[in-house]
């Protein structure tokens, strides 16, 4: 692929806008890409330049990038995006497709593949594996935290930056180490102009706890339904320790490859992009 930024596309899903970037020939092999928490579709820009003979659609997940926010009073939950994923696929005429997910997007990808396994050709998970399980007795407290968190963040003002460079600098200081170049890709799609400069376009409620979390048994139920080849790519200085603590989850997959690569959490945007593109290319 030679184009840099993708073609902007928008999908009407139940009266909400799901924004995305598109690369490649619509006749190519269908690949849906899901980004991580507080990122957006621009996190797949480097891979988009390397993949060949594919039709790549990278979504701005709800509450991120250029996509609509959820209705007032609601929290963001990892399973609530799954209906949107398949609504987009239906709009594209994709009966079956490949999924690539990074971080939170990887977890959502696996749940989607477990929900409608007959529609997924392959699953690539980048630096994430399974959601953190919750014991049943913790559910009431979790729901209470979510309700309070959503209320506190509903109208919360986000940081104001004088220019794009200031926003990029702030993003570089986030939880996970990220290069200035990669941060700029995400920031340029993740801010909006306001009086006095720029602010994040993402929904502040993304910082609120989920309303509920899946139990170990529920995670097993979803993952055990995935019958297609799965590859898990772990970053050596990213979330590999967290992934290794969940290593028993791999037994639920009928077929999988577990690959460790150098680099941090955003390795798919940085030095390992070419290697990851080759891994994806071999499976789609």
For the segment 115-148, what is each residue's pLDDT rounded down to a tens digit?
999 999 999 999 999 999 999 999 999 999 999 9
In sequence order, which residues have a C-beta less than 8 Å from that of residue 89 and are 6 or more positions away? 30, 32, 97, 119
Tell me the pLDDT band of 3, cut-offs 50, 70 and 90: very low
Residues above pLDDT 70, as percent of the chain: 99
- For residue 2, what pLDDT is reported? 38
Q: Is position 128 within any domain?
A: yes
What is the per-residue DSSP string for 210-262?
PS----HHHHHHHHHT--S-EEEEEETTTTHHHHHHTGGGGGGSSSEEEEEES
CATH of the domain at 65: 3.40.50.1820
Q: Is position 163 within any domain?
A: no
Q: How many CB atoms lie within 10 A of CB 226?
A: 23
Q: Name the pTM for this structure.
A: 0.94
3-state SS assignment for residue 264: coil
Q: Which residues are catalytic?
A: 103
* Nearest Cα to Cα of residue 59 among 25, 113, 13: 13
Query: Residue 62 and residue 139: Cα distance in Å, rounded?
Result: 24
Q: Is position 126 within any domain?
A: yes
Point out which residues pair with 1 in neighbouring strands: none
Q: Is the pLDDT of residue 6 over 90?
A: no
Residues above pLDDT 90, as percent of the chain: 87
- For residue 156, what pLDDT is reported? 78
Q: At what angle do helices 216-224 and 104-115 cross, to 10 degrees?
A: 60
Tell me the pLDDT band of 31, cut-offs 50, 70 and 90: very high
Tell me the pLDDT band of 262, cut-offs 50, 70 and 90: very high
* Nearest Cα to Cα of residue 197 among 230, 232, 170: 170
Point out which residues pair with 184 in neighbouring strands: none
- For residue 159, what pLDDT is reported? 86
- For residue 1, what pLDDT is reported? 38
Q: How many CB atoms lie within 10 A of CB 141?
A: 11
Query: Residue 69 and residue 61: Cα distance in Å, rounded?
Result: 9
- For residue 158, what pLDDT is reported? 80
Q: Is position 74 within any domain?
A: yes
Mean of the per-residue pLDDT values of the chain: 93
For the segment 174-197, what is each residue's pLDDT rounded down to a tens digit?
889 999 999 999 999 999 999 999
Q: Is position 191 within any domain?
A: no
Q: Is position 183 within any domain?
A: no
User: Could you list the residue range(s) of the whole structural domain that residue 226 is in?
Assistant: 7-135+214-281
Q: Is position 167 within any domain?
A: no
Q: Is position 172 within any domain?
A: no
For the segment 33-75, what is each residue's pLDDT rounded down to a tens digit?
999 999 999 999 999 999 999 999 999 999 999 999 999 889 9
Structural domains counted in the chain: 1
Query: Residue 144 and residue 77: Cα distance in Å, rounded?
Result: 14
87 in Cβ contact with 59 (< 8 Å): no
Query: Exposed e or buried b for every residue in 235-269, given b needs 16+ CB within 10 A?
Result: beebbbeebeebeebbebbeebebeebebbbbbbb
How are beta strands 97-102 and 120-126 bridged, if at all? parallel
């Amino acid at each position: 692929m030679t184009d840099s930024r993708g073609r902007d596309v928008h999908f009407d899903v139940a009266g909400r806008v799901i924004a995305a970037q598109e690369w490649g020939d619509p006749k190519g092999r269908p690949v849906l890409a899901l980004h991580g928490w507080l990122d957006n579709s621009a996190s797949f820009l480097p891979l988009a330049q390397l993949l060949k003979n594919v039709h790549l659609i990278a979504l701005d997940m709800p509450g991120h990038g250029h996509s609509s926010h959820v209705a007032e009073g609601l929290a963001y939950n990892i399973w609530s995006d799954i209906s949107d994923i398949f609504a987009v696929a239906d709009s594209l005429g994709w009966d079956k497709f490949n999924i690539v997910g990074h971080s939170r997007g990887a977890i959502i990808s696996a749940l989607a593949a477990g929900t409608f396994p007959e529609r997924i050709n392959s699953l690539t998970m980048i630096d994430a594996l399974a959601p953190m399980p919750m014991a049943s007795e913790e559910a009431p407290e979790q729901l209470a935290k979510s309700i309070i968190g959503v209320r506190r963040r509903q109208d919360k003002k986000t940081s104001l930056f004088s220019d794009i460079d200031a926003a990029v600098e702030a993003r570089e200081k986030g939880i996970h180490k990220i290069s200035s170049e990669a941060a700029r890709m995400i920031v340029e799609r993740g801010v909006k102009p306001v009086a006095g400069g720029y602010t994040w376009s993402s929904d502040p409620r993304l910082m609120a706890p989920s309303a509920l979390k899946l139990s170990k048994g529920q995670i097993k139920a979803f993952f055990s339904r995935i019958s297609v080849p799965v590859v898990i790519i772990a970053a050596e200085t990213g979330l590999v320790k967290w992934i290794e603590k969940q290593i028993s989850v791999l037994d639920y997959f009928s077929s999988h490859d577990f690959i460790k690569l150098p680099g941090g959490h955003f390795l798919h945007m940085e030095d390992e992009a070419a290697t990851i593109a080759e891994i994806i290319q071999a499976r789609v």
